Amino acid sequence: MHVVSRQEGVLNVVAKKYKDQQYYQGRWSNKTDEAKYNKLVKVGNTPTKDQIEHILNHSWTEYLCDECHKDADALVALRDGKKVIKVCRNCLNSALKLLNKEIK
Ligand SMILES: [Zn+2]
């Protein structure tokens, strides 16, 4: 169990994810996508949310809780075998309330 911030879980890996989607069989899908990738590389390894949204759009900076699907700045990563589930503070608090009600 560990905390993963939006910065490390999403923002820092956007350029790589974008390339994985837009670059295949040794070339870019089009010139616009290549230019956007070059802008992503130019902003560095720790881009801000605003920098990415300026180049791409809001969907690339979303960091959604697997339980409530709301956007969060940090999520707790829980492991179920090889699968990782990421949960927000509100959902963890709700889970704890449920558990406390059940076990006194
Ligand atoms: Zn949640």
| The two structure tokens encoding residue 93 | 């608090």
Strands (E), 1-104: 2-5, 23-24, 27-28, 74-80, 83-87
pLDDT at 60: 97
What mean pLDDT comes out for the span 62-75? 97
Query: What is the distance in A from the centroid of ligand 1 to the CA of 55?
Result: 28
pLDDT band at 103 (very low <50, low <70, confident <90, very high): confident
Q: How far is the CA of 100 from the centre of ligand 1 (A)?
A: 18
Condensed to tens digits (0 to 9), the pLDDT of residues 22-57 reads 999 999 999 999 999 999 999 999 999 999 999 999
Q: Which residues contact 75 (CB under 8 A, 6 or more apart)?
A: 3, 4, 9, 63, 65, 66, 86, 87, 88
Cα diameter, the chain: 61
